Chains A and B, each alone.
Chain A
């Protein structure tokens, strides 16, 4: 999986999570002979590092490393979906891996609960090779806990054929966007400008970030929560207008229903991160050639993008040789050797300067009528406001937002109400942990 996993898999696709109830009653589980731990205990001065991650092609990269470093052998375990929930339990029980891939949003929780190790002494020199915002994602309270492995700058994919057919300009400002939404809907009532999924808050995050805000900040020794801050409310107003006028659809993201709408050309634009185009190509192959990518609209037409958050690779509490772990991560995420595989096989959008310079990033995409779409995404990285910062209970905040947004699309409340309630839930959760929250 790629950085995409951050949102979709963790939140939406808790899809499986299953069997709790059923397991109890007619439970009775599996099993067979005991088998000794499969870990290869290497002898002598060899270090063995366990690494859990989800990026495709990682097995090959690890094999490359193992060949060149006989004294530091890495064992890779591929994570799927629910495994993410397991990492914390594993670390707390003392059975976690040495190294794990995380979505950057959860790092603060890991630091507070002492699940990660500060590796700044081993990776300090690496900083110059990473974009400032991605470096910020691995730095919490004076410590550096890992290295970035990809980011999620957002841009707007749009159906050039639909815009052309109705003679509508592709919007560059949010005002244009609203006008285009009305024009499109008037021209063809089956088409909406966008689908704003209530079940996940990724697009919300992107637009709030673009608007120069963050859900979290600090004030002295207290957290400041801005789920319903002014910038956030401004985005809410925009969404409310689109919803009230019936200019958007509100199908949950990642569902067959959603992909059917995309396939049938009922959605004219999709504002999503750099990892999304590959998914679009796979899930809507028949629409090839009809899509283009443009910067996401902004208030004044000047470049400004948001980000869905990145993925990072961190050294966990239980790692006995943090230096070896840090050295491996440093090679994996930052070396010249690994950039092309991470981009091509892993589908990651690089957080490194050498990655951003890699030729493999800038290939024309036949699905997008041979546009070099990553140029747009690379510009997006440059135009992101430097405001986003992570906070301690991101998952709680996002679930609260999603639960409340769901009530908006059924007409029970407005987006603004939803944000107020989500704010309340987020603050209450922080306070129940004893954390201090500024008003």
Chain B
């Protein structure tokens, strides 16, 4: 609050007002979701969006839990498993690759960097079908591995890790560790990862959100309902709602619940940004 004390009260009010307006804009649809979750299917179509009708939230939750033997919770669990393991592995792969690109000079390094950058421009539509065919050839369709492996190719994450490593790991430290006789992997694991820590949290968050919201890949790769994540399950419900109308409200309630884990993740990571998460990396 060092700055705040010196600034006029008017500024403070203006700033707060601006933020309040923004918050209203961002929360309105979420508020709609909350209110809609308490309605019955019929009321969803026949009552005003921001007015409560009959309170059916508990009924809806009960129905959500029992529909198709509680498949919704299975999907939730899958999403959590995929996101936690997927983001951890992805972050590791990104970290070691970005670290190597930043610390070492080796033949092919520039080519790899250019390829990583260029790959960010590839539309997912280009590779969806060939990727699926490839996974089938490898016998990985409808398996966790089939979902996991393609997701590890996260160019944006590699790029971020490369930037973070450049910014936060002094080469002199690496050199000193070598003189102390530490192996290269040890230097990476014990020193590199530690110094890049705050940056890795960002990559981890992006990877987690990416996994959580991922739709196309699991849709293509998975056949078993029991293996599906929330996005695919809820979208399927939404589509089926045309012919099984009761699913419309379950989609709404399910969506509301699906936001909760991300909200928790965000709140628990929020303190990292305060402390200067990206330490210098994204500054000039």
Within 8 Å by CB, do A and B touch in the complex?
yes
* Known A8-B242, A77-B225, A256-B45; contact A27-B151, beta-carbon cutoff 8 A: yes
- Flag if B243 contacts A34 (CB, 8 Å): no
- Flag if A32 contacts B85 (CB, 8 Å): yes
B82 at the interface (CB under 8 A from A): yes
Residues 44-79 of chain A, each 1 if its beta carbon lies under 8 Å from chain B, else 0: 000000001010100000000000000000000110
24 pairs, CB–CB < 8 Å, chain A vs chain B: A1-B243, A16-B238, A20-B216, A23-B210, A26-B209, A27-B154, A28-B214, A30-B83, A30-B211, A30-B229, A31-B144, A31-B148, A31-B211, A32-B81, A34-B145, A34-B148, A77-B225, A82-B239, A93-B133, A94-B136, A254-B242, A260-B46, A282-B245, A283-B45
B183 at the interface (CB under 8 A from A): no
- Flag if A80 contacts B244 (CB, 8 Å): no
- Flag if A31 contacts B149 (CB, 8 Å): yes
B220 at the interface (CB under 8 A from A): yes
Residues 205-248 of chain B, each 1 if its beta carbon lies under 8 Å from chain A, else 0: 01101111111111110011111010100011111101111100
Chain B residues within 8 Å of A82, by CB:
219, 235-236, 239
Chain A residues within 8 Å of B215, by CB:
16, 18-19, 23
A230 at the interface (CB under 8 A from B): no
B200, chain A: closest CB distance, angstroms:
14
Chain B residues within 8 Å of A29, by CB:
82, 86, 147-148, 150-151, 210-211, 214, 217-218
Most chain A beta carbons < 10 A, residue from B83, B224, B243: B243
Chain A residues within 8 Å of B216, by CB:
18-20, 23
A13 at the interface (CB under 8 A from B): yes
Residues 20-47 of chain B, each 1 if its beta carbon lies under 8 Å from chain A, else 0: 0000000000000000000001101110
A332, chain B: closest CB distance, angstroms:
20
Q: How far is the CA of A263 from the CA of B245 in the complex (A)?
A: 14
Q: How far is the CA of A92 from the CA of B81 in the complex (A)?
A: 31
A174 at the interface (CB under 8 A from B): no
A361, chain B: closest CB distance, angstroms:
19
Residues 1-35 of chain A, each 1 if its beta carbon lies under 8 Å from chain B, else 0: 11011001100111110111111111111111111
A86 at the interface (CB under 8 A from B): yes
Q: How far is the CA of A93 from the CA of B137 in the complex (A)?
A: 8
Interchain CB contact (< 8 A) of B243 among A5, A52, A90: A5
A259 at the interface (CB under 8 A from B): yes
- Flag if B86 contacts A21 (CB, 8 Å): no
Number of interface residues of A (CB under 8 A): 62
Q: How large is the interface on B (under 10, 10 to 19, 20 to 34, 35 or more residues)?
A: 35 or more
- Flag if A35 contacts B214 (CB, 8 Å): no
B156 at the interface (CB under 8 A from A): yes
Contact surface of A with B, Cβ cutoff 8 Å:
1-2, 4-5, 8-9, 12-16, 18-38, 52, 54, 56, 77-78, 80-83, 86, 89-90, 92-95, 254, 256, 259-260, 263-264, 275, 279, 282-286, 347
Chain B residues within 8 Å of A282, by CB:
41, 245-246
Chain B residues within 8 Å of A93, by CB:
132-133, 136-137, 141
* Known A26-B206, A30-B147, A30-B151; contact A260-B45, beta-carbon cutoff 8 A: yes
**Nearest A residue (CB) for B134:** A93
B57, chain A: closest CB distance, angstroms:
19
- Flag if B123 contacts A30 (CB, 8 Å): no
Chain B residues within 8 Å of A32, by CB:
81-82, 84-86, 144, 148
- Flag if B239 contacts A80 (CB, 8 Å): yes
Chain B residues within 8 Å of A347, by CB:
243
- Flag if B86 contacts A20 (CB, 8 Å): no
B128 at the interface (CB under 8 A from A): yes
B54, chain A: closest CB distance, angstroms:
12
- Flag if B44 contacts A256 (CB, 8 Å): yes
Q: How far is the CA of A37 from the CA of B223 in the complex (A)?
A: 11
- B contacts with A: majority SS: helix
- Flag if A28 contacts B90 (CB, 8 Å): yes
- Flag if B124 contacts A20 (CB, 8 Å): yes
Interchain CB contact (< 8 A) of B145 among A12, A23, A25, A31: A31
B122 at the interface (CB under 8 A from A): yes
B157 at the interface (CB under 8 A from A): yes
- Flag if A285 contacts B42 (CB, 8 Å): yes
- Flag if A25 contacts B156 (CB, 8 Å): yes
Interchain CB contact (< 8 A) of A34 among B143, B211, B217, B246: B143
A178, chain B: closest CB distance, angstroms:
29
A249, chain B: closest CB distance, angstroms:
16
- Starting from the known contacts A19-B214, A30-B78, 7 additional A-B residue pairs (CB-CB under 8 Å) come to A19-B215, A19-B231, A25-B120, A26-B206, A30-B86, A33-B145, A77-B224
Q: How far is the CA of A5 from the CA of B218 in the complex (A)?
A: 22
* Known A20-B216, A32-B81; contact A4-B223, beta-carbon cutoff 8 A: no
Chain A residues within 8 Å of B147, by CB:
29-31
- Flag if B41 contacts A283 (CB, 8 Å): yes
B7, chain A: closest CB distance, angstroms:
36
Q: How far is the CA of A31 from the CA of B135 in the complex (A)?
A: 14
B125 at the interface (CB under 8 A from A): yes
B277 at the interface (CB under 8 A from A): no
- Flag if B245 contacts A279 (CB, 8 Å): yes
Q: How far is the CA of A240 from the CA of B147 in the complex (A)?
A: 50
Chain A residues within 8 Å of B224, by CB:
38, 77
* Known A29-B218, A282-B41; contact A95-B141, beta-carbon cutoff 8 A: yes
Chain A residues within 8 Å of B76, by CB:
none
A-B complex: 8 closest residue pairs judged by Cβ atoms = A31-B148, A80-B236, A30-B82, A81-B239, A29-B151, A16-B235, A19-B215, A28-B210
Chain A residues within 8 Å of B132, by CB:
89, 93
Chain A residues within 8 Å of B207, by CB:
28
- Flag if A1 contacts B211 (CB, 8 Å): no
**Nearest A residue (CB) for B40:** A285
Interchain CB contact (< 8 A) of A78 among B46, B144, B213, B225: B225
